[in-house]
Amino acid sequence: MFIMSEDSQRTQGRDAQSSNIMAGKAVADSVRTTLGPRGMDKMLVSSGGDVVITNDGATILEEMDIEHPAAQMIVEVAETQEDEVGDGTTTAAVVTGTLLEEAEDLLEQDVHPTTIVEGYHEASRIALEAVDDEVLGEDVDDEVLGQVAESSMTGKGTGGLTADVLAETVVDAIRHVDGDDGVVRENVNVHTEVGASSSATELIEGIIVDEEPAHSEMPVSVEDADVAIVDVELGVRTGDVDAEYSIESIDQLNAALDAEESELAGYAETVADSGVDVVFTTEDVDDRVASALANEGVLAFENVSSSDARKIASATGAARVGDLDDLDADAFGHADHVHTDTYAGEDLAFVEGGAAAETVTVFVRGGTEHVVDELERAIGDALDVVATALESGEVVPGAGATEIAIADRIRSEAAGIEGRKQLAVTAFADAIDIVPRTLAANTGQDPIDVLVDLRAEHESSGRAGLVTDGEDVSIADPVEYGIVDPADVKREAVESATEAATMITRIDDVISAE
């Protein structure tokens, strides 16, 4: 009797578990060498020849063409980590892979998958309690937020000389969007442009759009500007149906041309008479209208994307107008300064100091396209973790110190757990150790020796991490070196890694239909 189609494939029992665990471990191993300030980069080349150079875990896993369903779960762990807290994606993926590796060893010892799952969840609960105990008591002020940002960016292509400068910019950006209702992270934009070193990155209190004036004679800078956003084509109207007009005399032709000129002049006159200084339109602007507006000293931009129009409206407080008859002072927004500049051959429009003043832009500079792309990813992560730290008000020691504390707490409480579940709890602690072990390996240290020393220092002083300071690598209190992470990053990594590892461990039957 055939229940499934002849083309279906089925893998059961230990074979299914081994296949899934092996796939998960392979994905985790692919990003392990990128962890930490001394982590290596990956070059990802697509079938079309596009190249991405990064050590951001989420980006690497996203760019990889992963088909195995269990391996795809590891990718989802990284994506969840990125969406929820913005950083710690590599840690989450590596811990998940190591939990699977430990689970495989337990399965070979005839520990039932259900027992492993129960032990992992118990250990996860203990780990979260340990994170709570590691939260530093000090206030999360600008200095601490700068440390959070710098810890996040160090080793991500920012360069050791500029990470502190970029951290300042990141903190300033988040402070600008921190209001009574909390941090509005989406009001911080990141705009990249090739053509200078990363130290030239700056914060713009407003927005930047890839636009140039509709006419070369228009002003390139307007102070104290009234701003209008219109969804109107400033050109000759055309019908929606095909039509032909028969002109039988030169007088008729001249009349048609005069009517066209009058229509265009009317557009320019309406805009100029409204008193607006800068106009952004999502439609075309006829050259003759643009010329007339230039003569009136009005700065106009055409074919602005709808998303950019929304950003401009948010920054300036302008209302979008669908009819020129509605163009009046009530619909205007305001900006302290609107100007255009050229960077590496690209024309950019800057709208700064808007009346709404809720939107800011981190203007990222870099020497090459690959550099600015990696900087954009690093700054994006830093913005996320600073926002997370500011909202929660909780930070913990970095440099592997929190993981050492978590593993130590789990081992101490494992002694009170009866039965085989104790094996799974202890295995969880061994999996958490992968973070300091990997940090050690990526700095060229012996992982076993460093782990022993970290445990000893933790026992004696209560806090120990693998600190990199310039060229020196030492075991010390990371807080003294300003290496801290948001507590929520650690919590999310523990929770998402546990959920993915337990789900994969429970699978003992894989049925695939061709």
Task: Write down the pLDDT at residue 278.
Answer: 92
CATH of the domain spanning 206-356:
3.50.7.10
Task: Write down the pLDDT at residue 126.
Answer: 94
Full-model pTM = 0.82
What does pLDDT average to in each consecutive run of 10 residues of the chain (514 residues)?
A: 52 64 82 85 81 82 77 84 84 90 88 91 94 88 89 69 77 86 83 82 88 90 91 68 59 54 72 88 87 89 89 86 83 90 85 75 85 86 90 89 93 88 93 92 89 91 84 85 91 91 78 57
DSSP string, 456-489: HHHHHHS--EEEEETTEEEEE-GGGGT-EEEHHH
Task: Write down the pLDDT at residue 64.
Answer: 81
Half-sphere exposure of 329 (CA within 13 A, CB side): 1
Domain extents in the chain:
12-136+396-512, 206-356
Q: Are 185 and 384 in contact (CB under 8 A)?
A: yes
Residue with tokens 């026992």: 459
Is residue 62 classed exposed, middle or buried when 0-12, 13-18 and 19+ CB atoms within 10 A define those classes? middle
What is the spatial distance between Cα 308 and Cα 314, in angstroms, rounded to a whole number? 10
What is the set of active-site residues? 56, 89-90, 381
Question: Which CATH architecture fits 12-136+396-512?
Answer: Orthogonal Bundle (1.10)
